Amino acid sequence: MAVLASVVDSCVPRPDVLGGGLVDKHFAAQLDQVIRGSVGYHDYADPDSFFKITHPTKGLRELLAGTFARLSGNASAAPSAEHAVYRYETSFGGGKTHGLIALWHLASGARPSDLDEFIDPALLPGECAVAAVVGDSLDPINGLTTDGTTTFTMWGEIARQLGPDAWAAVRESDEARTAIGKQVWLDIIGDRPTVIVIDEIAQHLRLLATSGHEQSRDLAAQTIAGLKVLFEAATAAPRARIIVTLATGTDAFEAETAEVAKALREAEVEQLLSEAYDVMERPKGAVGRPAEDDEIGFILRRRLFAEVDENAASTAAQAYRDLYATLADQGVTVGGSATDDPAGYAERLRSAYPFHPALIDCLDKRIGPMPGFQRARGALKMLAEAVAALWRADASTPIINLGDLPLDNLTVRSAITTSIGREALDGPAVADFAASTSHAASVDNERWPAERLATRACRAAFCNSVAGGTQPGASSPDLYAGTLAPGETPEAVDAALEATSLVAWHLTYDGARWRFQVEPNANRIIASELSNVPNADITEELDRRIRRHFASDGPTKAVHFPTGPADVPDAEQLHLVVFSHEDLTVRAATAGEIPTQVVDVAHRCGTNEQSRTNRNAVVALVADADEVEPMRDRIRFELAAQRVTADSERLGQFDAQVAKTLRKLTNNAALESRIGITRAYTHLYWPENAPGNNHLRHLQLPYSDYGKTPNGSHTPVIVEALRSHGKITDTPPPTDLLADASGFGKVRTEITTAELAAMPWRGHRQKIVLNPTLVTQAISAGVRNGTWVYYDQEAQRAWGPDDQPPNVRTAANTLLYTPARAAELNLLRKRADWPAISAIVTSTAGPFDGASLRRELTTTLGGEPPKAEVLSALATAVRDGQRIAASLTAPTAETTPQQLAATEIEGAELDALYLRVPADSTQPPPKELRRITVEGETAGTALGKLRDAVADSDISEIAALTVTANAGAGQGTANLRTLGYCASQLPRFECSITASLQAEFDGLAGGITADLAGGIADWRRIEQALLALADLGSAVGGSLTMRLTPPAPIAVDGNDWEQFRSVVANNNPVALRIEAEPAPSTPSGGAQ
């Protein structure tokens, strides 16, 4: 059997479909809106766009051929061209408006590139007059105003569109609401090719007949008389045609139908409508239908896809033909005539590809007739969302069948539930098959992990269930047609549904049909114990919930249930210490008396309980003694409710309403448990300059305005409480406070930036700084205001108040000096650069050795520059194309030594170099270009290296940026979260994520490993849950790589480049690796 290509590889959806989010008007244009040029109908108003998405159905071709053959005086060229009046009949959503728009475009002169698919171009007249009126847009009281002209009647609006002379002829009759005579029409039409479209005239007549305005009711009779005269005139005019539409199946809108029925009960209305239909039946006109039932596949395919691989379609058709022929030989029946006529059915499949005929038949014949769905229109809207979801997921399905619909997507699911009033089935769908946690998913995970056969069979059954009716659900032939793919068997489908029925809550089988129902299936709910919930279960579940409720979040590390100070790390990171309610509780009246356990954890650390260095890094959360038992009661209630609603016998004892209430209480119980936890854990303690209270402050958190959200960590609420009470700051700490706290300038003349950055964590007087960027900003501010001089040992460079601000990094090898100490060490001398080197080297004709150059630079710069600094300046000059050559041997009159490249200069020994200005070179040496990769312990370090590397290169534009952060020891996933924050702040970049995560857990063998790659939106769906799980581990490792691709290459001195650097610097993920990929137009060379 040939391997079938995935539809994602073989088909290209139209861009608007791929983007998702299309609304009704994208599939249901209104004729009058298109004609009047209303906003939002581009695909219908623009002829080329319209015909590209339109399938030339037999009915549409007949309409166009018959109309334009008559208009061009060539009535023998089309069967219906002899008829002046053409009735265009269809059910709602059946393509009628599409046909009228096509007619209007061509009559208005449009000639699309694919015109010959729709009509023989020879039949089109050079020009013709065209008018189109829509019944529900006419207004006999207020009028319909277009370009300053207001019309009140059908004939007035037709005449206005046919031109000024026509309007002048009927204006008085229009204002008098009196129909014009046949001769007037004949004079207006004359010998011009003329086409007049009258759409939904019955709606207009109904409104007139039921109006409370007497003149409007009189106009109903006039309109009927006017129609009769118009039809007679058109019959007498050899080059005129009237297209009139009469929709059938007008129950598409249930409420409106009820109102219409009420109106039609009036005898006068019935009489008027009867006369109207009689008038429209009287002419010997032709009757046409826009589309036949077997054309819907073509319509769907043409509208939704820009390209379809016909070879893939033929291959798929053959594979399915073989499947159905084999099943027919085995005596198996597959619905839709698949086994009755495998060849014919395969041809249907080929023409509808990538859609399966079973999908089309279900949408067209089962769901399509339902009020609200509107047949082709509803199918288009639903399938557009399905295609967008499948392509986002890079689905591997060889065809799109009922079983392949992504019903886990709410928008897709709602299109076949909410639209037809069956939204009550949404919950059953999610519970049983339309979610990763559904019952069918659990069956697939165990038995069909690759094929997902249980989920696919449930989707097919569900789609056949939503229509209701006398026989809802799917028979075995229906299921086989909607589920089976080549290589699969009917027995496997049967087994998948049998297995699912053992755990599903809403899937039933009556011996003939599988169906989903709203009522839960009590016989399929797994039985549980009905006695009291064991206390051990409550304790275990409560501990788990508390850990999840107060999980680590971003820069905040949660420590749960410590037994003493040794359990709380002494680290420069905010630690939220959650005491177990079994070990410690307080009461509101005495909570201000700080408990001994809280004091010990706040002030001591380690097994020897030595003094804690980072006293400002610990906040504690303690439960209220009066709320512990209510909290346990809520958990007990939730567990009991789950057992009751999951037990078939217990639930069967109650009537339907009681059972419904029990299920509702079960759903609400999880939220109530959260509220119970937040009401219990309300006592917060944090460090403060309060000697009389052990340097701790107490706050009882108000629980009235939180705990209402059903998901997510509650830790951010704690952090926000600290922020609102001034303990956490979002502004850089003042430089004088940092200097005072560290003794800088008083007893110390130098300090590392790492030590200075630790100051906010050391003393309880300080405010907590969660964002390390604030400290680097404070250091930069101190450089600007002259508090200190910043020195980077790696770069061997100092920055003072007169320099451009440095990219500060906090590390052991970056230091701050008092200005006096910096002057003493001669740190603020000028740096070696090309102008200084050039002035020395070009002053002599002969070669200049490196040692001599350094001596001269010492005099010029006011201090001896490091050798690495001189080498870097020389390499930069070579990259920039400066006229300088370096070699390892001295040139002679006979020899010219090999010139060193920039990278070779950087690795050379300065004293061994010989420098010269090439005399025989008319062109500067070639510039060396390379892809840039840098690493740094902090964002500032990495960005500084990136800045310098870009400046030293010849790269002018960047095509992509890749940033990698690692999960650090003792930090959990905080660094990965921090990098993830950057993506949301860079909306102009397309972002993809590659994540690798490993975690081990105390007391448990093995561990978890996750290796994921995909778009940022998909990562966001699982990010919090995955990282929160990893943070529960005793050991966590891994990395997160973020690839940022701009819509077009970005200039290295442009706004997008600066935004990238600013966002990464402000969030400050640590231990970074950054790669800058040159744009394709920028040559790339050198080592990465």
The model's pTM is 0.46
Is residue 663 domain-shared with residue 772, that is, in the same domain? no
- Residue 683 is classified by DSSP as E
pLDDT of 922 > 70? The answer is no
pLDDT of 257 > 60? The answer is no
pLDDT of 432 > 60? The answer is yes
pLDDT at 969 (0 to 100): 59
Is residue 392 domain-shared with residue 262, that is, in the same domain? no
> Any long-range contacts for 533-539 (C-beta under 8 Å, 24+ apart)?
533/636, 533/639, 533/640, 533/643, 537/639, 538/632, 538/635, 538/636, 538/639
Retrieve residue 1070's tokens.
């640590």
Is residue 906 domain-shared with residue 938, that is, in the same domain? no
Which residue carries 């006229």 as its tokens? 883
Domain assignment of residue 212, yes or no: yes
Residue 6 banded pLDDT, cuts 50, 70, 90: very high
Picking from 794, 787, 775, the residue whose alpha carbon sits closest to that of residue 821 is: 787
User: In residues, how long is the chain?
Assistant: 1088
Least confident of 176-185, 366-375, 678-687, 736-745: 366-375
- Provide the strand spans (E) within 872-924: 885-887, 914-916
pLDDT of 493 > 90? The answer is yes
Is residue 450 domain-shared with residue 474, that is, in the same domain? yes
Is residue 695 domain-shared with residue 587, that is, in the same domain? yes
Domain assignment of residue 81, yes or no: yes
Over the chain, what is the mean pLDDT? 84
29 vs 504, residue with greater confidence: 504
Is residue 838 domain-shared with residue 818, that is, in the same domain? no
Considering Cα of 832, then 836, then 842, then 846, what sign does the dihedral take? Answer: negative
Domain assignment of residue 1035, yes or no: yes
Domain count within the chain: 6
Which residue carries 């130098």 as its tokens? 750
- Contact in structure between 318 and 342 (CB atoms under 8 Å): no
pLDDT digits (tens, 9 = 90+) for 62-113: 889 999 989 988 888 888 888 888 888 754 445 788 889 999 999 989 999 8
Say which residues have a Cβ less than 8 Å from residue 529's Cβ, sequence separation at least 6: 643
Q: How many CA atoms, within 13 angstroms, populate the side-chain half-sphere of residue 782?
A: 31
Considering Cα of 448, then 451, then 453, then 458, what sign does the dihedral take? Answer: positive
pLDDT at 287 (0 to 100): 66
Please state the φ and ψ torsions of residue 605, each to the nearest 5 degrees. Answer: -155, 165
Measured CA to CA, the distance from residue 490 to residue 675 in angstroms comes to 49
Q: What is the distance of C-alpha 1002 from the center of its chain?
A: 37
Average pLDDT over residues 469-474: 80
pLDDT at 484 (0 to 100): 96
Picking from 280, 244, 445, 466, the residue whose alpha carbon sits closest to that of residue 363 is: 466
Residue 283 banded pLDDT, cuts 50, 70, 90: low
Measured CA to CA, the distance from residue 205 to residue 942 in angstroms comes to 75
Is residue 647 domain-shared with residue 561, that is, in the same domain? yes
Rg of the chain taking only CA atoms, in angstroms = 39
Three-state DSSP at 391 gives helix
Residue at a domain's end among 672, 697, 724: 724
- Contact in structure between 511 and 472 (CB atoms under 8 Å): no
pLDDT digits (tens, 9 = 90+) for 662-710: 777 677 778 888 999 999 999 999 999 888 899 999 999 986 544 444 4
Percent of the chain with pLDDT over 70: 87
Residue 255 banded pLDDT, cuts 50, 70, 90: very low
Picking from 401, 415, 417, 420, the residue whose alpha carbon sits closest to that of residue 460 is: 401
Is residue 68 domain-shared with residue 172, that is, in the same domain? yes
Q: What is the distance of C-alpha 449 from the center of its chain?
A: 26
Domain assignment of residue 443, yes or no: yes
Domain assignment of residue 676, yes or no: yes
- Provide the strand spans (E) within 147-239: 149-151, 194-199
- Contact in structure between 115 and 49 (CB atoms under 8 Å): no
Is residue 414 domain-shared with residue 322, that is, in the same domain? yes
Is residue 68 domain-shared with residue 163, that is, in the same domain? yes
pLDDT digits (tens, 9 = 90+) for 381-430: 889 999 999 999 999 999 999 999 999 999 899 888 887 788 889 988 99
pLDDT at 805 (0 to 100): 79
Measured CA to CA, the distance from residue 1046 to residue 1027 in angstroms comes to 27
pLDDT digits (tens, 9 = 90+) for 128-164: 999 999 988 899 889 999 989 999 999 999 999 999 9
Domain assignment of residue 1033, yes or no: yes
pLDDT at 642 (0 to 100): 84
Residue 1078 banded pLDDT, cuts 50, 70, 90: confident
pLDDT of 249 > 60? The answer is no
pLDDT at 616 (0 to 100): 95
- Contact in structure between 897 and 890 (CB atoms under 8 Å): yes
Range from 471-475, 555-559, 913-917 that averages highest in pLDDT: 555-559
847 vs 192, residue with greater confidence: 192
pLDDT digits (tens, 9 = 90+) for 502-552: 667 788 888 899 999 876 643 333 333 435 678 899 999 999 999 999 999
Is residue 643 domain-shared with residue 775, that is, in the same domain? no
Measured CA to CA, the distance from residue 958 to residue 1074 in angstroms comes to 13
Percent of the chain with pLDDT over 90: 42
130 vs 804, residue with greater confidence: 130
pLDDT digits (tens, 9 = 90+) for 572-617: 999 999 999 999 999 999 999 999 999 999 999 998 999 999 999 9
Domain assignment of residue 1060, yes or no: yes
pLDDT at 506 (0 to 100): 83
Residue at a domain's end among 262, 291, 320: 291
pLDDT at 353 (0 to 100): 94
Measured CA to CA, the distance from residue 988 to residue 20 in angstroms comes to 19
Average pLDDT over residues 268-283: 50
Residue at a domain's end among 855, 882, 916: 916
Which residue carries 């949660």 as its tokens? 558
Q: How many CA atoms, within 13 angstroms, populate the side-chain half-sphere of residue 767?
A: 21
Picking from 539, 557, 489, 480, the residue whose alpha carbon sits closest to that of residue 514 is: 480
Say which residues have a Cβ less than 8 Å from residue 341's Cβ, sequence separation at least 6: none
Domain assignment of residue 34, yes or no: no
Is residue 685 domain-shared with residue 801, that is, in the same domain? no
Enumerate the β-bridge partners of residue 697.
686
- Contact in structure between 44 and 82 (CB atoms under 8 Å): no
- Residue 1079 is classified by DSSP as P
- Contact in structure between 1 and 322 (CB atoms under 8 Å): yes
pLDDT at 752 (0 to 100): 96
pLDDT of 1081 > 60? The answer is no
Retrieve residue 986's tokens.
């860079």
Q: Domain span at residue 808?
A: 735-824
Helix H, strand E, coil C: the string for 133-157 is: EEHHHCCCCCCEEECCEEECCHHHH
Average pLDDT over residues 423-440: 91
Range from 357-361, 489-493, 607-611, 957-961 that averages highest in pLDDT: 489-493
Q: What is the distance of C-alpha 482 from the center of its chain?
A: 29
